[in-house]
């Protein structure tokens, strides 16, 4: 697979001017060296991840900086000897900023006095400055979901929840899958921000969550994300419960906590998710109406 991907990537390199060919080769070699000997949870060489998605991003957007940033996007997180300052100093600002936006082991944006309590806040802020930050993250999440089954069950739930709460609504707003023009995606984002009167990254995050969940606070989001193995979901809608229980191999996918019934057929069903398939594909969650949240 690696050699086939290398061949495809070289065809992209050959499309560039001599100057850009040199830069792209340098970044490619930097990424290969940074991920040497590293493996994904699936067991494949880690370098397959940046190369394969770089090809997809080029074929979709043909944006040079986006492809370069993608090749470098995990180099800082996955190496103790590579720092975000190295990316800024060795390459140019736009690429480094994109990498910085998705680098989770730093709460700061390099060269600024901005500090973000949560990695999602950092991404939201950067994405409002440059929509390509969002494109990087959406591409990353798409590819990571393909190997989700290699993660522990509670991490599957955590990733699925974050996807459903933040990235699926963002993808829809941008029309990420339907469009291949970054300028149009940027316009879509700006139109959405204007329509919703959004001025800050926190407002954007809250607005995205509300696309999927109702009456769901930022504190709830953090609690579900950080304690996904201790989250209990609640159903009091009979049709939704029937839909849930009809899912194939449901016993492998949820853990039933309790079932209470009262007069007039009123009931309360509590459960935990063990597998991502139910959470993200079979059941549509709506906090505050169909489902409510509690942490035990």
State the catalytic residues. 77-78
Residue 293: left if φ>0, alpha if ψ -120 to 50, beta else—which one? beta
Three-class secondary structure of residue 196 per DSSP: coil
Could you tell me which of 281, 74, 81, 101 has the C-alpha nearest to residue 201?
Answer: 101
Half-sphere exposure of 227 (CA within 13 A, CB side): 13
- The total of other beta-carbon atoms located within 10 Å of residue 183's CB is 9
d(CA 21, CA 28): 10
Half-sphere exposure of 122 (CA within 13 A, CB side): 23
What DSSP letter does each residue of 245-289 carry, written as one string? HTSTTHHHHEEEEEEEE-GGG-EEEEEEE-SHHIIIII----BTT
Are 100 and 74 in contact by the 8 Å Cβ rule? The answer is no
d(CA 296, CA 290): 19
CA-to-CA separations, 122 to 47, 65, 210, in angstroms, rounded? 25, 20, 19
Residue 139: left if φ>0, alpha if ψ -120 to 50, beta else—which one? alpha
Q: What's the chain's Rg over C-alpha atoms?
A: 21
């Amino acid at each position: 697979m690696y050699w086939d991907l290398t061949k495809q990537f070289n065809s992209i390199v050959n499309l560039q001017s001599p100057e850009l060919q040199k830069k792209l080769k340098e970044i490619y070699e930097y990424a290969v060296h940074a991920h040497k000997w590293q493996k994904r949870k699936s067991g494949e060489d880690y370098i397959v991840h940046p190369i394969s998605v770089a090809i997809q991003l080029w074929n979709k957007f043909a944006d040079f900086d986006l492809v370069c940033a993608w090749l470098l996007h995990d180099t800082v997180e996955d190496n103790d000897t590579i720092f975000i300052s190295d990316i800024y100093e060795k390459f140019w600002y736009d690429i480094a900023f994109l990498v910085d936006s998705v680098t989770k082991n730093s709460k700061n944006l390099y060269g600024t006095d901005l500090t973000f309590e949560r990695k999602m806040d950092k991404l939201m802020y950067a994405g409002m400055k440059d929509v390509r930050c969002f494109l990087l993250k959406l591409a990353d999440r798409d590819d990571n979901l393909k190997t989700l089954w290699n993660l522990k069950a509670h991490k599957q739930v955590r990733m699925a929840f974050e996807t459903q709460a933040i990235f699926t609504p963002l993808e829809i707003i941008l029309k990420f899958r339907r469009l291949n023009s970054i300028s149009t995606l940027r316009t879509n984002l700006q139109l959405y921000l204007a329509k919703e009167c959004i001025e800050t990254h926190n407002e954007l995050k809250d607005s995205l969550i509300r696309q999927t969940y109702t009456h769901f606070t930022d504190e709830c989001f953090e609690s579900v994300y950080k304690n996904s193995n201790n989250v209990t979901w609640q159903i009091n809608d009979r049709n939704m419960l029937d839909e849930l229980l009809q899912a194939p191999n449901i016993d492998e996918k949820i853990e039933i906590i309790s079932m209470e019934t009262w007069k007039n057929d009123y009931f309360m069903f509590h459960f935990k998710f063990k597998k991502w398939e139910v959470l993200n594909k079979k059941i549509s969650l709506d906090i505050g109406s169909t489902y409510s949240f509690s942490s035990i």
